[in-house]
Amino acid sequence: MKNEKDFLLLNIDEVEPFNVSKNEEKAVIKHVLQKTKQPFRLSKWTTAALFTIGFSSISILAIPTIASKLPVIEQLLSAFSDDKNLVLFHDYATPVGQTAESNDVTIKIEDAVYDGYLLSIAFSAQSEEPLDDIQFAKNTPEFTGYTLASTEQHMQRVDANTYNGFFTYEMEQTTSSTTPIEITWTPFGFYNSEYESILSGDWSFSFELDKLDLQETIVNKTLANAERSITIERIASTGYTTLIYFTSDMDFTNEFISMDVKDNVGNTYEFAPTQTQRVTTDFSKGTVTIFGLDQNASSLLVTPKISTLEVNKPLSTELLETVDIPLK
């Protein structure tokens, strides 16, 4: 093996799942659905849940002893190796290394990434006493001038006293500014899978992150059916994420936008999460997020889809024209 990461990824069968009760499963699904209360947003978690709730199972993962001696990001990869966001985080993360202690629990922020749209953080929590089932943080990070939207939260039990966490936060307003951001985070505590408070404390963190370099392609292509239109305005890529920006005249009362995305070398980017914000009753704007864009791709084939939900009728979906967008 070339390194520990190769070992972990090739020996994922060593990870032993713990069965989770139906009540715990329902609690997680409830948490996912709660995230959709923010208007007109389909996050990565929500999109996956909509397509897989009917036949998926939920597990809490423990890791082999040898893996627990590796850095937090390597341990997380051993448990969530199919998460493209996490795999890319490993390549782009900036070390932070800040530690705070409260109520005999030490939290350490190991690494973080910021690209103007997503903020991702990897951390560990270690206690003097055994920890209960930790699943969700009570509070999100903050930084001046930006509002954080939906989140993705992975928690991994290392042993009775230690958990690792990987949280990703989306921003409602993306920015092209290259100025570093100052991030503050006071977690306050954590919930279990039943959404009950099980851990509280006065941990506090403050650190600065540089934004990843950005490449942008202007598109300005409008597509329409008989009633609605969508304009693909631009594509911005940092390597960590690739964003397709669009506007539309939809009001989202009973309509939804998604996009089929492929590249010119044969990759299909399934479950690309869509985030949409209604500005007025006849104007909205949004983004589609791609993780792990193939570096050999020189263009994207984007097909917008308008789905309509009517009472007592099945969901109907109309595909618009496919746009071939060259990449820089």
CA distance 36 to 289: 17
In contact, 141 and 124? CB cutoff 8 Å: no
The CATH number given to 4-209 is 2.60.40.1630
* Token pair of 141 as six digits: 């990070």
CA distance 101 to 55: 40
CA distance 209 to 181: 5
Give the start-to-end residue ranges of the domains of the chain: 4-209, 215-326
DSSP string across 192-239? -TTS-EEEE----EEEEEPPPP-EEEEEEEEEE-SS-EEEEEEEEE-S
Terminal Cα distance for the chain, rounded: 35
Query: SS3 for 133?
Result: coil
DSSP class of residue 312?
T
Query: SS3 for 106?
Result: strand
Identity of the amino acid at 25: E
Count Cβ atoms within 10 A of the Cβ of residue 146 and give its class: 0-12 exposed, 13-18 middle, 19 or more buried. Answer: middle
CA distance 60 to 192: 12
Q: What is the pLDDT of residue 262?
A: 95
In contact, 44 and 85? CB cutoff 8 Å: yes
Backbone dihedral angles phi then psi of residue 305, each to the nearest 5 degrees = -130, 135
Question: For residue 166, which of 78, 100, 276, 269 has the smallest C-alpha distance?
Answer: 78
Q: What residue spans of the chain are helical by DSSP H?
A: 4-10, 22-34, 44-52, 72-79, 84-92
Q: What is the dihedral of CA 33, 37, 42, 44, to 10 degrees?
A: -50
CA distance 91 to 85: 10
Encode the chain (328 residues) as per-residue pLDDT tens digits. Answer: 444 344 334 444 444 444 544 444 444 443 433 333 333 333 343 333 333 323 223 333 443 433 444 578 788 877 776 777 788 888 898 999 999 999 999 999 999 999 888 889 999 999 999 988 888 888 888 876 676 766 678 888 889 999 999 988 887 666 666 778 889 999 888 988 888 888 899 999 999 999 898 888 999 999 988 888 899 999 999 888 899 999 998 877 778 888 999 999 999 998 788 887 778 878 888 889 898 889 899 999 999 998 888 888 888 888 999 999 998 7
Can you name the residues that pair with 113 across neighbouring β-strands? 120
CA distance 228 to 234: 19
Can you name the residues that pair with 119 across neighbouring β-strands? 114, 169
Count Cβ atoms within 10 A of the Cβ of residue 141 and give its class: 0-12 exposed, 13-18 middle, 19 or more buried. Answer: buried
Same fold, 4-209 and 215-326: yes
* Domain at 215-326, CATH homologous superfamily: Conserved domain protein. (2.60.40.1640)
